[in-house]
Amino acid sequence: MIKIKLKKGREGSLKRFHPWVFSGAISSIEGEPKEGDIVSIYAHDGALLGCGHYQIGSISVRILSFDAAALLPDFWEVKISKGLKAREAYGLANSNQTTCYRLIHGEGDNLPGLIIDFYDGTAVIQTHTSGMFLSRQKIVEALKKVYGLKIKAVYDKSSGTAPFKVGLELNDGYLYKRDKDEPNESIVLENGHKFLVDWEKGQKTGFFLDQRENRLKVKKYAAGRRILNLFCYTGGFSIYAIAGGAVKVDSVDSSAKAIEMLEKNMFLNGFDLSTEENTSADKIHTSYCEDAIEFLKKSPENKYDLMIVDPPAFAKHRVAIDNALRAYQKLNTAAISKIAPGGIIFTFSCSQVIDKNAFALAVFSAAAQTGRKVRIIDRMNQPADHAVNIYHPEGEYLKGLILYVE
């Protein structure tokens, strides 16, 4: 076991259970750790502070346990079992209305660098560190023990998520399949609505599970409204809006694959666009494979009285924060200026490096630029299965506002 000793006085954050050790806090390293090795962390006085994965970079160690538990043979099974029990407590696991959820959310579940999403029997893994990448087979065995026959397949989708600095081969693929003929996509339920999930070719792990509760809020406000869903992906918000009684929904995304999946989801939920009665003149839903920002710019004023503005992360690193805030301001200025009087805007940021106060300020600046009267009627965040560890507030990444525009 490689031992890392901290500088005097630098153990405070670990004693407060923050799971990161920064390179500047390290006094000495006993041994030559490789990327992904499990190392033990000691205070300057020799007290054991925990064990974690070593990584080359500003965050040198991500803590797996604040004792020696990471070295025990049942470590992964215990951790994944705790993740499942938490989802059962949230009312997600074993639900007959929702068959997809996030099982492990990195630091929120005390497993930094690991994401596991569960889609009705298929677990999709994304690893964000070398340590988690190298632990994949142990994770698979733990999933099989915890879920038993409920686990049908485990798919690894780590090729685009981890900044590896060692020569590891990065190819997405199945780590386990109970049946070789198991399909590569699945129809799942979310609050009773059906969605086709393609974890092999879709974005992220195949579906944006983090908007589950916020989609319900759109459904609540949808009745009788003309709705624009920007950056719609596979149509989650659009499905809920139609189910909530919207009179017209336009969905916009630049990805042809996403639009194709959206239209399949419409069919799955009984919103068949191909019937003779549902002509282009009166159909409730229309999809557009276009750039969402350009579509909004050319949209006439007052055409929509509810908008969903859910762009991809504009900033993934701190150096991009200023540009991202300007982009959020510009996008929300366009939305606020175009929406009909009495309209509602759902606006989001999923950029982890931008906190909720900075995002709210960008939206405030957008509103002020339009000169319209705008009220915040609700605030939104990520759901319980995308857990935020109270000792790691950096894990709060999704933030949103519901605006009422006079």
Asked if the structure places residue 201 within a domain, the reply is no
CATH value at residue 7: 2.30.130.10
Residue 245 near residue 223 (C-beta atoms within 8 A): yes
pLDDT given for residue 163 in this prediction = 63
368 and 221 share a domain? yes
Of 314, 306, 295, 205, nearest to 252 by C-alpha is: 295
- List Cα–Cα distances, 101 to 78, 83, 98, 269, 400, in angstroms: 19, 11, 8, 20, 20
SS3 content of the chain, % helix, strand, coil (to 5): 30, 25, 40
314 and 344 share a domain? yes
pLDDT digits (tens, 9 = 90+) for 281-305: 458 999 999 999 999 999 999 999 9
223 and 315 share a domain? yes
Token pair, residue 143, equals 């999933």
Token pair, residue 38, equals 């499990």
CATH value at residue 163: 3.30.750.80
79 and 50 share a domain? no
CATH value at residue 251: 3.40.50.150
Handedness of CA 244, 247, 253, 257 (dihedral sign): positive
242 and 122 share a domain? no
Other CB atoms within 10 Å distance of the CB of residue 17: 14
How many domains, the chain?
A: 3
Residues 161-177 as b or e (16 or more Cβ within 10 Å = b): bbebeeeeeeebeebbe
Of 1, 49, 110, nearest to 25 by C-alpha is: 49
Query: pLDDT exceeding 90 applies to what percent of the chain?
Result: 87
48 and 100 share a domain? no
Residue 166 reports pLDDT greater than 80:
no
pLDDT digits (tens, 9 = 90+) for 376-405: 999 999 999 999 999 999 999 999 999 999
pLDDT digits (tens, 9 = 90+) for 17-66: 999 999 999 999 999 999 999 999 999 999 999 999 999 989 999 999 99
240 and 339 share a domain? yes
276 and 305 share a domain? yes
pTM recorded for the entire structure: 0.94
7 and 88 share a domain? no
Of 255, 242, 365, nearest to 308 by C-alpha is: 242
Token pair, residue 396, equals 């709060």
CA separation for the pair 34, 37 (Å, rounded): 6
Read off the DSSP letter of residue 86.
Answer: H
Token pair, residue 160, equals 């685009």
CA separation for the pair 99, 93 (Å, rounded): 7
147 and 106 share a domain? yes
- Characterise 378 by phi-psi region: left (phi > 0), alpha (psi -120 to 50), beta (else): beta
pLDDT given for residue 282 in this prediction = 58
Could you tell me how many helices (H) and strands (E) the chain has, helices first?
Answer: 10, 20
Domain that holds residue 54: 2-71
